[in-house]
Amino acid sequence: MSKITEYVARLPDANGHIHYPQVEHDIWQELYLRQVGNLSQYACLEYRQGLKELNLSGDKIPQLTDIDKVLLDTSGWKTSAVPALISFEHFFKLLANREFPVATFIRSKEEFDYLREPDIFHEVFGHCPLLTNPSFARFSHAYGKLGLAASKEDRVFLARLYWFTVEFGLLQAKDGSLQIYGGGILSSPGETQYAMGDKPQIRPFNLIDVLRTPYRIDIMQPVYYAIESIRFLDEIVKMDIMAGVREAKKLGLFEPLFEPKSKAS
């Protein structure tokens, strides 16, 4: 996770307040207005309930101290201000302590529809609403503890589990209808429309399959994995995930459904 970035996070003052210039509040407002219209149609109920509880402003970037008050009351979580990208070690340690990392910068207009690295809109608008949900909060905590104890090699496989659930997970009801719970989709107007269209493959969640599926962070996803409800995250926690990692390592990765980055346009 620790790579070169062009963004610089804004640091909180002695009172925990982060000062953003108006131009960055304007970007938040435009992102919020574009995406909030998609929520009633595409976002899962638990996310919409959490968004209501957080009472995020559509006009300005929220303060993490305000978000913390809600998260601590609902699930015992809080946020942690971080730079644009952090190491796996730092990431897992925060989750294991029930602290959700939030990069305190906002994207440029050039990366409006799809951002390769997490900004405050992605983290707060995309993820924090579901941290009010017990199942999502328990899964995130268990994942952090698992990753903290894992080897460097095993963490690469665990990253795929996070990618296809917390970041790009879908819910698929018995009637086939789809809803979004993954923050990487919910925070991206472009990926929301794409994920709900007919281009990507939608596969039922299978732990071994998820751990064997390669992905790229700089493209729309060619495949998503769907669970039947947010409560199914509790079932994943009960699985022997590290045994799944060992099995996935034996079987090897699936053939990618995308071109290598060097060949992609």
pLDDT in tens, 71-130: 999 999 999 999 878 899 999 999 999 999 999 999 998 887 767 788 999 999 999 999
| Alpha-carbon torsion angle 252, 199, 173, 129, nearest 10 | 90
Distance CA 92, CA 88 (A): 6
Question: Is 111 one of the annotated active-site residues of the chain?
Answer: no
Distance of alpha carbon 258 from alpha carbon 172, whole angstroms: 24
The reply to whether 24 belongs to the active site is no
- Model confidence pLDDT, tens digit, residues 34-66: 999 889 899 999 999 999 999 999 999 999 999
Task: Please pick, among 24, 46, 123, 167, the residue that the annotation labels catalytic.
Answer: 167
Active site residue 90: no
24, 80, 122, 140: which is the annotated catalytic residue? 122
State the catalytic residue, choosing from 117, 127, 140, 141: 127
Residue (of 173, 5, 146, 134) closest to 82 by Cα position: 5
Among the listed residues 75, 80, 140, 187, the single catalytic one is 187
The answer to whether 255 is a known catalytic residue is no
Determine the pLDDT at residue 262: 63
pTM of the shown model? 0.93
